[in-house]
Amino acid sequence: MEKSTPPTITLKVEGMSCGHCVKAVTAAIQAKDPEAKVVVDLQDGTVKAETILPRHTVSVAVEEEGYAVKG
């Protein structure tokens, strides 16, 4: 039986500017879902997470790292 791909959640995030930000956001999401695939785009200010987590949980994980989720 083939494993289905979880949905992708896209968040607009303010305050990310460097590699440390990428690592912090990725680690925060993967701490809640180790299987999550996370892509951070610093230029666009977006975080895309392919995860089983609900959107709210992903948002809270990012906010707990000190970043503002705007959408």
SS3 at position 30: helix
Q: Nearest CA to 71 among 16, 8, 14?
A: 14
Model pLDDT for residues 40-60, shown as the tens digit of each residue: 999 999 999 999 999 999 999
Residue 67 amino acid letter = Y
CA-based nearest residue to 11, from 37, 35, 44, 33: 44
Domain that holds residue 62: 8-69
Identify whether 1 is part of a domain: no
Confidence band, pLDDT 50/70/90 cuts, at residue 4:
confident
Secondary structure class of 49 (helix, strand, coil): strand
Q: Are 34 and 63 in contact (CB under 8 A)?
A: no
How confident is the model at residue 23, as a pLDDT? 98
Structurally, the chain folds into a number of domains equal to: 1
Contact 37, 49 (CB under 8 A): yes
